[in-house]
């Protein structure tokens, strides 16, 4: 099975302080158990980069 993930799942799955961390993490883990393929788009990667390299309310800031 191929699972598609966008920023609305990927970002919370990575950020423990995010209010949707646990459900997002559970979805990602379920997909990994059910099949070997997880996918996303370049747009989602760009959104993740944007969210991870700017100050957010979750106090995540990675240098570009």
Domain boundaries, the chain: 2-52
The Cα 50–Cα 64 span in angstroms is 9
Contact 2, 44 (CB under 8 A): no
Contact 35, 3 (CB under 8 A): yes
- In terms of DSSP H, where are the helices of the chain? 7-14, 21-34, 42-52
What is residue 38's predicted lDDT score, i.e. its pLDDT?
Answer: 77
What is residue 52's predicted lDDT score, i.e. its pLDDT?
Answer: 82
Evaluated on CA atoms 32, 33, 37, 40, the torsion sign reads negative
What is residue 23's predicted lDDT score, i.e. its pLDDT?
Answer: 96
At 5-58, the pLDDT tens digits run 899 998 899 888 889 999 999 998 888 888 777 788 899 999 988 888 876 677
What is residue 31's predicted lDDT score, i.e. its pLDDT?
Answer: 86
């Amino acid at each position: 099975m191929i699972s598609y993930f966008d920023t609305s799942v990927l970002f919370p799955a990575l950020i423990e302080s995010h209010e949707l961390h646990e459900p997002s993490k559970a979805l990602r883990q379920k997909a990994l158990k059910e099949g070997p393929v997880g996918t996303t788009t370049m747009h989602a990667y760009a959104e993740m980069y944007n969210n991870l390299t700017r100050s957010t309310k979750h106090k995540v800031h990675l240098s570009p």
